[in-house]
Amino acid sequence: MLAVGSDLESSRAAVACASRYDDVYAAVGLHPHEAGRFPDEAAEIEALLDQPKVVAVGEIGIDRGRENWSVDVQTLAFHEQLAWAQARNLPVSIHNRNADADVLSALENFSVVAVLHCFSSSAAFATQALEAGCMLSFAGNLTFPKANSLREVARSVPAECLLIESDAPVLAPQPWRGQRNEPARVPAVCETLAEVRALDVETVANDVWKTAERVFRWGAA
Ligand SMILES: [Zn+2]
């Protein structure tokens, strides 16, 4: 699994977790909620990219739903980190809230494999993102009763572009909704995906495993 950072401290924790457990890899990056700290933390986060088992840059992105920092400040940090990923040929994990257009236009300017984490956008955007070569990663909100349109999107994503995640500590899937989330709950996301794709759970688990292995290059790190 991939442990994902959101600032310097949590990126260090992800790297430490990866060094301790064989099956854990790390992503390091500065989340848009923390974008104003980029000038202070950038150099040390970038240095973490050279640590063993760091296989991605993330979470990075744009959040227009909760603007702790102006979109300009967020965009600066986002683009700088996309450049890090491009220079090292690393994939990125993107946080996108109400920022579909910002994300797509940024990706036009960088040659990176992008995982749209906790995909929650429309079917139309899913089509555009897949055409742009993105991976779509689904979290616990896929299991929520009202998430019919999201399940409709998840039904038709090509297996080779499909990922699942916890987004812990938030978005615990049914029946744990509202509780602190953890990676042990991810199978519930896989079960919902299997249901909507009319496949057995093992097949979907194998599909997302293969996608993760290819995108994050487990084993080569
Ligand atoms: Zn996020």
Has residue 38 been placed in a domain? no
Four-point Cα dihedral 141, 207, 117, 42, nearest 10: 150
Residue 111 lies in a domain: yes
Does residue 2 sit within a domain?
no
Cα-to-centroid distance, 130 and ligand 1 (Å): 19
Low-confidence ranges of the chain (pLDDT < 70): 219-221
pLDDT at 218: 86
What pLDDT shows up at residue 212?
Answer: 97
Q: How many whole angstroms from 10 Cα to the centroid of ligand 1?
A: 14
Residue 116 alpha carbon to ligand 1 centre in Å = 9
Adjacent-strand bridge partners of 95:
61
pLDDT of 66: 84
Confidence at residue 68, expressed as pLDDT on a 0 to 100 scale: 87
CATH code where residue 103 lies? 3.20.20.140
Give domain status of residue 28, yes or no.
no
Let me know if residue 118 belongs to a domain: yes
User: What pLDDT is attached to residue 221?
Assistant: 59
C-alpha of residue 136 to centroid of ligand 1, in Å: 13
- Amino acid at position 10, single letter: S
Determine, yes or no, domain membership for 181.
Answer: yes
Cα distance between residue 173 and residue 161, in whole Å: 21
Number of domains in the chain: 1
Q: Which of 93, 88, 87 is nearest to 115 (CA)?
A: 93
113: left (phi over 0), alpha (psi -120 to 50) or beta: beta
CA of 3 to the centre of ligand 1 (A): 13
pTM reported for the whole predicted model = 0.96
Q: Is 48 inside any structural domain?
A: no
Per the structure, the complete domain to which residue 93 belongs is given by 59-216
Classify residue 42: in a domain, yes or no.
no
146 Cα–ligand 1 center, Å: 20
pLDDT of residue 59: 98
